[in-house]
Amino acid sequence: MAAPKIFGIVLAGGEGKRLMPLTADRAKPGVPFGGGYRLIDFALSNLINSGLRQVVVLTQYKSHSLDRHISQTWRLSGMLNAYVASVPAQQRLGKRWFSGSADAILQSLNLIRDEKPDIVVVVGADHVYRMDFRQMIDAHIANGAGVTVAGIRQPIALADQFGVIETDPANPQRIAAFREKPKDAQGLADAPHEVLASMGNYVFDADVLMDAVIRDGENDDSDHDMGGDIVPDFVNRGEAFVYDLNHNLVPGATERDRFYWRDVGTIESFFDAHQDLISALPVFNLYNAEWPIYTQQLNMPPAKFVRDAQGRTGNVVDSIVSLGAVVSGSLIERSVLGTAVTIESAEVVDSVVFERTTIGAGAVVRRAILDKEVVVAPGAQVGVDHEADRARGFTVTETGITVVGKGIHVV
Ligand code: ADQ
């Protein structure tokens, strides 16, 4: 049989309210991550590394910087009809924006019809992970599934943030029940403190997907949501299967990082995922050359580490430092520094610093996320006194992570 023709749809229209203030003026998939990356780079890298060559990104909410990132970064060769195209909501079916992720696909059916694929892979855009979709597509075809949902075990305490999958004991690949964000999820038989969560990634036969979103569009009772409406419909007909990420072996991955997947929907999980990058033996390895994570190739000088004005040396350890950064005589520990960051005789510990932020002499930044172009004045402190942080209008999470929004001057 000829290899199936595969089309990719990346759902990138979500607001990401729980990541405020980082999503105050950018879509969640456009949020910077891990120094030079944006969240969407992980989903797109997985699709491209899996051999997909026609991928559309459906955007809607505050999509300017996301659209610009995609068009500047994700330029595939034009000769072979290879593309990653950002498609903003266009009100093709009347004067309305996308009312849900299934409606986003319904409004984009012309893109699928133009390519005539056999299989459509639909993925979210706000997770950090590594996954070979070819293996999931093979399982989908072998099962003769209507839809295949990617699943991964997650702590039961997080069940109300995910679609929760219950499998058929007689055939553990078949989904017996799917509940979107249940408040009363049951644990797994072999692991009572875990559930099998949907990763929000789906494989469909193209004609089956088109029929499903057209039918859903005619149903006024539907919220037009992939997880809330489309998947449960397939489950009711016995046509939904699960593909467990634990079966996925990406080229070049080690035992330690073979199953990595993180939902970074909250400040806490966004922060924790950064900590996963920086240890000597990270559970998420950005240095796996067999499964590269692509992002914009910036024309910037290398990072530089120099003595400070008093001639003192610094110490940078367990950290990622991006291109264009200049660090003079500072203590940087367990932190991720974005591009063109400038830090002068300061202490930055357990923190994530986005591009072009400057931190002045004698400043202290602890357990904080600083958005781009923040200016921390000499001697200022962030994450040291949470009351003082709140008084200055910064977000402080329950676990004590301080977030400073874009462009703020901290004194
Ligand atoms: P959520 O992430 O809560 O749960 P949703 O808000 O629909 O679901 O977002 C899914 C993806 O679609 C995200 O990438 C988002 O950016 C995008 N999106 C949302 N609304 C959109 C719209 N109108 N137009 C275009 N894109 C849109 C989903 C599933 C759960 C699953 C989790 C995994 O519904 O079952 O467990 O993802 O994180």
- Ligand 1 geometric centre to CA of 241 (Å): 19
Euclidean distance between CA atoms 364 and 403, whole angstroms: 14
Task: Fill in the amino acid letter for 55.
Answer: V
Q: Is this prediction's ipTM beyond 0.90? A: yes
The predicted model gives 106-121 an average pLDDT of: 94
Euclidean distance between CA atoms 387 and 287, whole angstroms: 39
The predicted model gives 95-112 an average pLDDT of: 84
351 annotated as belonging to a binding site for a ligand: no
**Closest by Cα among 136, 131, 162 to 227:** 162
Between vectors from CA 286 to CA 200 and to CA 66, what angle results, nearest 5°? 55
The residue behind tokens 């890298």 is 45
pLDDT of 97 above 70: no
Q: How confident is the model at residue 283 (pLDDT cuts 50, 70, 90)?
A: confident
- Ligand 1 geometric centre to CA of 200 (Å): 7
The values of phi and psi at residue 268, to 5°, are -60, -50
Q: Is the Cβ atom of 101 under 6 angstroms away from ligand 1?
A: yes
Least-confidence region, from 65-79, 137-151, 185-199, 290-304: 65-79
Euclidean distance between CA atoms 136 and 236, whole angstroms: 22
Q: Is the Cβ atom of 39 under 6 angstroms away from ligand 1?
A: no
Q: Is the Cβ atom of 98 under 6 angstroms away from ligand 1?
A: yes
- Ligand 1 geometric centre to CA of 256 (Å): 28
Protein residue closest via CA to atom 6 of ligand 1: 14
* CATH number assigned to the domain covering 6-278: 3.90.550.10
Protein residue closest via CA to atom 27 of ligand 1: 13
**pLDDT the model gives residue 93:** 58
181 annotated as belonging to a binding site for a ligand: yes
Q: Is the Cβ atom of 199 under 6 angstroms away from ligand 1?
A: yes
**In the chain, ranges of CATH 2.160.10.10 domains:** 304-410
Least-confidence region, from 118-127, 135-144, 246-255, 287-296: 246-255
**pLDDT the model gives residue 89:** 76
- Ligand 1 geometric centre to CA of 199 (Å): 10
Euclidean distance between CA atoms 241 and 204, whole angstroms: 11
The predicted model gives 365-392 an average pLDDT of: 98
Is residue 32 within 8 Å of 355, Cβ to Cβ? yes
**pLDDT the model gives residue 98:** 64
**pLDDT the model gives residue 80:** 82
194 annotated as belonging to a binding site for a ligand: no
Give the pLDDT confidence of 301-349 residue by residue, as tens digits. Answer: 999 999 999 999 999 999 999 999 999 999 999 999 999 999 999 999 9
Candidates 2.160.10.10, 1.10.287.110, 3.40.50.300, 2.60.120.10; correct CATH number of 304-410?
2.160.10.10
Within 10 A of 10 (CB to CB), how many other CB atoms are there? 24
**In the chain, ranges of CATH 3.90.550.10 domains:** 6-278
- Ligand 1 geometric centre to CA of 101 (Å): 6
Protein residue closest via CA to atom 24 of ligand 1: 13
Q: Is the Cβ atom of 152 under 6 angstroms away from ligand 1?
A: no
Q: Is the Cβ atom of 12 under 6 angstroms away from ligand 1?
A: yes
Give the pLDDT confidence of 123-166 residue by residue, as tens digits. Answer: 999 899 999 999 999 999 999 999 999 999 999 999 999 999 99
- Using CB atoms within 10 Å of the CB of residue 184, give its burial: 0 to 12 exposed, 13 to 18 middle, 19+ buried: exposed
Q: Is the Cβ atom of 108 under 6 angstroms away from ligand 1?
A: no
Which residues of 90-215 form beta strands (DSSP E)? 119-124, 127-129, 147-155, 163-168, 171-180, 194-205
Q: How confident is the model at residue 359 (pLDDT cuts 50, 70, 90)?
A: very high
Instruction: For ligand 1, pick from 9, 11, 97, 243 the residue to mutate: most ligand atoms within 8 Å of CB.
Output: 11
H helices within 50-204, ranges in order? 64-73, 101-106, 109-115, 133-143
Euclidean distance between CA atoms 239 and 259, whole angstroms: 26
Is residue 365 within 8 Å of 380, Cβ to Cβ? no
Q: Is the Cβ atom of 100 under 6 angstroms away from ligand 1?
A: yes
Q: How confident is the model at residue 280 (pLDDT cuts 50, 70, 90)?
A: confident
Q: How confident is the model at residue 209 (pLDDT cuts 50, 70, 90)?
A: very high
pLDDT of 1 above 70: no
pLDDT of 34 above 60: yes
101 annotated as belonging to a binding site for a ligand: no
What DSSP character marks residue 18? G
Q: How confident is the model at residue 88 (pLDDT cuts 50, 70, 90)?
A: confident
- DSSP β-ladder status, 375-376 and 320-321: unpaired
- Ligand 1 geometric centre to CA of 223 (Å): 12
The predicted model gives 101-107 an average pLDDT of: 92
Q: How confident is the model at residue 12 (pLDDT cuts 50, 70, 90)?
A: very high
Q: Encoding tokens for residue 297?
A: 């190739």
Ligand 1 atom nearest to 197, measured from its CA: 36
396, containing H or E segment: strand 395-396
Indicate the average pLDDT of the chain. 92
Instruction: For ligand 1, pick from 17, 31, 101 the residue to mutate: most ligand atoms within 8 Å of CB.
Output: 101
